[in-house]
Each structure stands twice: as structure tokens, then as C-alpha cells.
């Protein structure tokens, strides 16, 4: 039971970059190829322009958003079950329950849940009912009575309802029958003409004749004139009396509410307490349109397993998709410093000091003997170009450059041309708000008790970087407050000049950078020459100062 088809989500970090997205797509494809199981690439945030360009360039659809990995009702094995309409008889409902081997069945009208009925409710309909008006109170259709008694309609409309009177047995003589039978009653009789005639004379609502007994045409004609219903059944009177309550519509005995229902998008952790307090065997599940989808049993719920995820391009909890602490992490593929992700048990963890996760993924294709398609090669190559700034970043290794050149041949692309088009697409900030620019490539870090964020924009255009600077300087204090951070740094990286202007926000933020890079205290703009990498240059220097 649990995570239905054993699906595993392959997902990168929040505010995903090109490496995070492309490596997730490529690694999901590799895992599927190796195992034959279902691996699905997902994204944990909005895709930036550079990545959008890459995906369009290689005709690849963007992965769907995975907002969190908390276990939801829809992830559990829901028991799909065909319900019954409210007017269906108890007898037919019981037959359907036996056929489907269930103890609870939904009562559904036009897809919407009207109620549920259990074997206990049906037992009540037999054991606890002593009122002989119950058929009329339940507005029982004559069609139900007809089917329950395996009868034949001799006079009347089967779609009509028995709405007044009581159910009685016409086994006495005519004089006594006239004393206790009323005009609107349903009367069960045998083959005695005097009993049949008495019932017609009283003008009962419905006459049930047992033993397939003959009824004189004169009586039938009179019954028709009086708009009576006459049903003939092969059963004897005892059997007819015993069975007739089974014709009552299921809606009369069903549990109507307020029902304890859950929805497909409900989180298992949120409903756990409710479910444990209720002693029901099965709980109805509805979709967002309040339409019935099936049942979750207490057993299925208790046996549910967590969502399975593979993390690529990160191993910090603050960068991971929401709810990661409730998921089962099965693998981590990364090239960053070791973070604070915790796992329930041992996992496959591959971490290499290279410039890009895509380099590791391309190695894993080679190690597994799986050929790389032109599309996957293009995605992996683009990721390496992005993360290494086309080999300009100090994070770039010989392995990254070798992998990129090999992948470029498979994908049929020119590295310089591809880099230029990607960086131009990624640095275009036209029409973007300060908020959108800030979180285009933004990561959060925790060092001891200090929580800070670092954003970065790479561009080949100095003028554009200056415009971005003006927008962000006014906006960063708001981001600091709303995200409960102590400091924010934003890297405006000039790819051609191989330098970064660093914007600092928060108490002590500027002073930490001055210490980390040994900059004169009277420095105006924070220009860091040769610094282009957040991972290998800015973060290690900053962490070193924070930990002193």
C-alpha cells in the first residue's frame, strides 16, 4: 500500500537554476532506463528565463511543480467502489455489497455523496424496525417492491411511490379486515377472493397477491379505475411479509451526516488525529469538486508509506522542497558542501567536487552503459555551461569541461554560441519586478544560528546590472523582513569582467564581507574582483567568518 505505484520524484532545490532542472530531468530518465520503475522529474519553484530558453531549445516540457512532499490522501491506495443511488432498495444494495465484497458502500447521486450505508445499517433495517408505516415514511417506489418480491405489475405505475398508510396482512375474514385496514394501506393477501375483494373495496394504495394467485378481471378493472397498484408475486405470504422491508430505499437507512469525509489534497498528517478518534472502518474521499472518489480504510491509512524523493543539486534542508522531513529521501546527487539534510536510514549519496551536478549525471550514464540522447546531452551540456559560466568559474574542473565538450558533440551545439544565447536569455530583466529578480536564483543558508540568503544574477551587460542594482537596493530590506532572515547578499556578476558587485543587507552583513575578503572599511561599492561563484568563493569565505 502507500505511495501508489512506487513513484519516485527527482527534484532540485527551490528557486531552481538550469542545473537543478536539467539534472533532475536527465537523472529521472537514467533511473527509469536502468530500473524500469517510475521516476518523475519535478521542480520545487518557478523556472527562470535561462532555463526556459534551454528547455525550449531542446523541445523539452518543463517539469511540473512539486510544492511540497508531505503525504496526501491522493498518494494512498484509495479503494475505488461503485456506489448506489438513493432510491435503490436495501435488497439490491446488499447484493452489490456482497458482489464487491465490501462492508460499507457510498450512496451517490450525480457523482455527489449523499451518504454511506454499512452492513450494520442494513442489520438495523431488519432487527430494529417495528413500525408498519416504515415503507410509506421511506416513500418506497413500487418498482422496488416489485423487484424485491420478484413480482409482476398487473395494475399501476411502477415509478409511483407508496407514501401513506401501513403494511398489513389480509389473512382475516372480510369483516375483520375492514376493521384494521385503511384506504391508503398496502395489503398482502393470498388466493382468497373475499380478501382480495375487501382490499379493493376499501381502495387500498397497493395490493400484493401471493402464490401467483389469479385475480378476477372485474377486480383488476375496479382497481385500475381507483388508481390502485396491484402486484402479483410467486412467494407465499410469510416470505412476502419477511422480504418486503428490503424494498425500502437505501437513503432511509444510510448515514447522512455530518459525515467524516476527507479530500484528495488533504495531508495525511493533518487528518491522522481525526481518523484515529473515529471508529469507522472506511472514510469517504471527495475531489475538489466534492464528487465521490472512493474510500480509504483505516488499515490502508495506517500502512501508508511516505513519498519517495531523490534530491539533485542540493543537500540543505532550507533549499529543499517543503515537507522534506516527512518524505523518504532515497538518493542525493550533489556537488555542494555538505548541508543539514537528515534521512531516516542510509541512502545513496554521491557528492563530487565538480562545477555542476550535470557533470556527475553524465558520468553516471557512462558508468551504467546507457546511451545519452541528443536532447538529454543538450540539457546536461547547458547545465554545465550555466554553472561554470562556460568554464570561467573557479568551480569548474577539467571533468566539467571534458563532459561539456563531449555532450556538445552529441547534442550538435556550439558551446560559445549556446553560452551567449543562454546568458542573454537569463540576464534579460525587462518587465520583471524587484521580487522576481531577487528570487530568480536565490538560496538560503544556515550557519550555526545565523540564517541568510544569497541571490545571484549573471550578465554580460554592465548597464543591465546597474539597472538591476537600483531596483534591488530598495527591495532587499523588505525581503529580509518577510523571509525572517538575518542577512541578505546579492551577487551582480559580470561574466565578461569576471567580477561581482555584492549588495549587502542586514545587521553586520557588510562587516562580515569586509572581514571575509579583507576589504578596506571605507570601501564604497563592494566590488569583488575574480569572484563569480557563490558556491566556491562567496559561501566558503562567509561561512569561515561566521564560524569564528
Domain at 418, CATH number: 3.90.1640.10
pTM more than 0.75: no
Instruction: For residues 449 and 485, state if they share a domain.
Output: yes
CA angle 388, 394, 400 (to 5 degrees): 45
In a domain, 195, yes or no: yes
Pairwise pLDDT comparison (297 vs 218), residue with the higher score? 218
Q: Supply the CATH number for residue 445's domain.
A: 3.10.310.20
Mean pLDDT within 249-256: 88
Q: What is the pLDDT of residues 374-425, one digit of tens each?
A: 999 999 999 999 999 999 888 899 999 999 999 999 999 999 999 989 988 8
Instruction: For residues 325 and 407, state if they share a domain.
Output: yes
Instruction: For residues 113 and 195, state if they share a domain.
Output: yes
In a domain, 343, yes or no: yes
The rounded distance, in Å, linking the Cα atoms of 367 and 374 is: 18
Instruction: For residues 60 and 131, state if they share a domain.
Output: no
- Given 402, 426, 450, the domain boundary residue is 426
What mean pLDDT value characterizes the chain? 90
Instruction: For residues 488 and 390, state if they share a domain.
Output: no
> Strand pairing partners for 334?
351
Which of 254, 305, 327 has its CA nearest to residue 42? 327
In a domain, 340, yes or no: yes
- Given 236, 252, 268, the domain boundary residue is 252
- The pLDDT of residue 61: 96
In a domain, 317, yes or no: yes
- Given 394, 410, 426, the domain boundary residue is 426
The H-or-E segment that residue 419 falls in is helix 415-427
In a domain, 84, yes or no: no
Whether 395 and 456 have beta carbons less than 8 Å apart is answered as: no
Length of the chain: 548
Q: What is the pLDDT of residues 110-169, one digit of tens each?
A: 888 989 988 888 887 777 667 789 899 999 999 999 999 999 999 999 999 999 999 999
Q: Supply the CATH number for residue 215's domain.
A: 3.40.1390.20
Which of 70, 29, 27, 64 has its CA nearest to residue 47? 64
Instruction: For residues 118 and 216, state if they share a domain.
Output: yes
- Render the burial of 263-285: b for 16+ CB within 10 Å, e for the rest: bbebbbeebeeebeeeebebbbb
Per-residue confidence at 302, pLDDT binned at 50, 70, 90? low
Strand ranges across the sheet with 8-11: 64-65, 39-43, 8-11, 308-312, 328-334, 348-351
Instruction: For residues 108 and 248, state if they share a domain.
Output: yes
Per-residue confidence at 78, pLDDT binned at 50, 70, 90? confident
Mean pLDDT within 433-452: 89
Distances (CA, A) of 56 to 49, 50, 61, 416: 10, 10, 8, 18
Instruction: For residues 345 and 478, state if they share a domain.
Output: no
The three-state DSSP-derived secondary structure of 57-105 is HCCCCCCEECCECCCEHHHCCCECCCCECCCCEHHHHHHHHHHHCCCEE
pLDDT over 90 (residue 77): no
Instruction: For residues 337 and 415, state if they share a domain.
Output: yes
In a domain, 280, yes or no: no
Instruction: For residues 213 and 183, state if they share a domain.
Output: yes
- The pLDDT of residue 437: 87
Q: Name the residue range of residue 412's domain.
A: 8-71+306-426
Pairwise pLDDT comparison (190 vs 306), residue with the higher score? 190
pLDDT over 70 (residue 1): no
In a domain, 76, yes or no: no
Whether 285 and 293 have beta carbons less than 8 Å apart is answered as: yes
Percent of the chain with pLDDT over 70: 98
Instruction: For residues 495 and 389, state if they share a domain.
Output: no
- The pLDDT of residue 3: 45
Q: Which residues contact 170 (CB under 8 A, 6 or more apart)?
A: 177, 181, 187, 188, 189, 195, 196, 198, 199
- The pLDDT of residue 2: 43
- Number of domains the chain is built from: 3
The three-state DSSP-derived secondary structure of 212-230 is CCCCCHHHHHHHHHCCCEE
The three-state DSSP-derived secondary structure of 155-197 is ECCCCCEECCCCEEECCCCHHHHHHHCCCCCEEEECCCHHHHH
Instruction: For residues 111 and 45, state if they share a domain.
Output: no
In a domain, 172, yes or no: yes
Pairwise pLDDT comparison (42 vs 305), residue with the higher score? 42
Amino acid at each position: 500500500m502507500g505511495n501508489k505505484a512506487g513513484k519516485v520524484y527527482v527534484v532540485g532545490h527551490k528557486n531552481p537554476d538550469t542545473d537543478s532542472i536539467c539534472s533532475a530531468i536527465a537523472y529521472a530518465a537514467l533511473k527509469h532506463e536502468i530500473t524500469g520503475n517510475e521516476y518523475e522529474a519535478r521542480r520545487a519553484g518557478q523556472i527562470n528565463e535561462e532555463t526556459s530558453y534551454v528547455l525550449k531549445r531542446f523541445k523539452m516540457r518543463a517539469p511540473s511543480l512539486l510544492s511540497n512532499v508531505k503525504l496526501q490522501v491522493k498518494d494512498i491506495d484509495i479503494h475505488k467502489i461503485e456506489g448506489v443511488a438513493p432510491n435503490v432498495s436495501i435488497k439490491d444494495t446488499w447484493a452489490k455489497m456482497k458482489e464487491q465484497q465490501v462492508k460499507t458502500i457510498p450512496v451517490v447521486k450525480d457523482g455527489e455523496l449523499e451518504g454511506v450505508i454499512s452492513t450494520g445499517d442494513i442489520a438495523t433495517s431488519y432487527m430494529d424496525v417495528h413500525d408498519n408505516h416504515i415503507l410509506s415514511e421511506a416513500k418506497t417506489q413500487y418498482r422496488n417492491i416489485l423487484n424485491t418480491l420478484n413480482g409482476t405489475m398487473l395494475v399501476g405505475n411502477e415509478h409511483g411511490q407508496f407514501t401513506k398508510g401501513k403494511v398489513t396482512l389480509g389473512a382475516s375474514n372480510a369483516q375483520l379486515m375492514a376493521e384494521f385496514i385503511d384506504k391508503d394501506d398496502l395489503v398482502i393477501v393470498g388466493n382468497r377472493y373475499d380478501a382480495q375483494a375487501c382490499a379493493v373495496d376499501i381502495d387500498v394504495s397497493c395490493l400484493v397477491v401471493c402464490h401467483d394467485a389469479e385475480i378476477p378481471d372485474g377486480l383488476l378493472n375496479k382497481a385500475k379505475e381507483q388508481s390502485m397498484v396491484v402486484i402479483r408475486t410467486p412467494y407465499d405470504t410469510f416470505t412476502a411479509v419477511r422480504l418486503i422491508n428490503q424494498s425500502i430505499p437505501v437513503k432511509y437507512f444510510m448515514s447522512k451526516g455530518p459525515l467524516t469525509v476527507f479530500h484528495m489534497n488533504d495531508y495525511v498528517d493533518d487528518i491522522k488525529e481525526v481518523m484515529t478518534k473515529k471508529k469507522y472502518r472506511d472514510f469517504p474521499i471527495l475531489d475538489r469538486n466534492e464528487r465521490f472518489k472512493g474510500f480509504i480504510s483505516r488499515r490502508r491509512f495506517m500502512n501508508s508509506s511516505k513519498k519517495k524523493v531523490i534530491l539533485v543539486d542540493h543537500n540543505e534542508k532550507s533549499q529543499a522542497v517543503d515537507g522534506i522531513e516527512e518524505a523518504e529521501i532515497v538518493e542525493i546527487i550533489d556537488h555542494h558542501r555538505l548541508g543539514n539534510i537528515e534521512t531516516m536510514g542510509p541512502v545513496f549519496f554521491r557528492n563530487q567536487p565538480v562545477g555542476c551536478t550535470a557533470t556527475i549525471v553524465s558520468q553516471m550514464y557512462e558508468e551504467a552503459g546507457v546511451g545519452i540522447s541528443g536532447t538529454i546531452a543538450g540539457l546536461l551540456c547547458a547545465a554545465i555551461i550555466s554553472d561554470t559560466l562556460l568554464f570561467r568559474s573557479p568551480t569548474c574542473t577539467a571533468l566539467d569541461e571534458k563532459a561539456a565538450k563531449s555532450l556538445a558533440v552529441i547534442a550538435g551545439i556550439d558551446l560559445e554560441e549556446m553560452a551567449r544565447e543562454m546568458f542573454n536569455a537569463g540576464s534579460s530583466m525587462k518587465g520583471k519586478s524587484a521580487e522576481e529578480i531577487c528570487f530568480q536564483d536565490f538560496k538560503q543558508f544556515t550557519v550555526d544560528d545565523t540564517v541568510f540568503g544569497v541571490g545571484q544574477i549573471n550578465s554580460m551587460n554592465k548597464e543591465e546590472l546597474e539597472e538591476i542594482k537600483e531596483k534591488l537596493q530598495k527591495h532587499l530590506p523588505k525581503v529580509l523582513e518577510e523571509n525572517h532572515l538575518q542577512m541578505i547578499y546579492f551577487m551582480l556578476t559580470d561574466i565578461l569582467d569576471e567580477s561581482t558587485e555584492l549588495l549587502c543587507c542586514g545587521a553586520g552583513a557588510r562587516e562580515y564581507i569586509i572581514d571575509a575578503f579583507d576589504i578596506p572599511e571605507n570601501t564604497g561599492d563592494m566590488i569583488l574582483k575574480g569572484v563569480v561563484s557563490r558556491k566556491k568563493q562567496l559561501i566558503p569565505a562567509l561561512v569561515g567568518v561566521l564560524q569564528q
